[in-house]
Amino acid sequence: MTYVVTESCIKCKHTDCVAVCPVDCFYEGENMLVIHPDECIDCGVCEPECPVDAILADTEPEAAKWLELNTELANIWPVIVDQKDPPPDAEKWKDVENKLELLSRNPGEG
């Protein structure tokens, strides 16, 4: 089992999860984070840290499409190991649904 990041992270990109990850399996895009499923050790410490509930276990029914996206993007984005401030407008995007079309595939700074 692994965990995945869902579209709730898009434009919010809180990095509280990164700070607690013991294996550095988070990767940073311009406006979202993803988890590399081959590196995640299923410890679950990241899930409760996310202030926008963007992290799910891959056993959840809605996680399948996110597993594919997390895998794809983790292979092209840089690893992120330090917590950063969220975007200034993150609170505005917190409860917005259907944000997938806003996903930037550009890499973050890592």
Report percent pLDDT > 70 for the chain.
100
What is the per-residue pLDDT across 41-72, written as a single tens digit (0 to 9) for each?
999 999 999 999 999 999 999 999 999 999 99
Q: What is the pLDDT of residue 1?
A: 84
Q: What is the pLDDT of residue 102?
A: 98
Q: How far apart are CA 105 and CA 61, in angstroms?
A: 24
Domain 3-82, second-level architecture: 2-Layer Sandwich (3.30)
Q: What is the pLDDT of residue 65?
A: 92
pLDDT beneath 70: ranges in the chain: none
CB atoms within 10 A of CB 22: 9
Q: What is the pLDDT of residue 10?
A: 98
Q: What is the pLDDT of residue 24?
A: 96
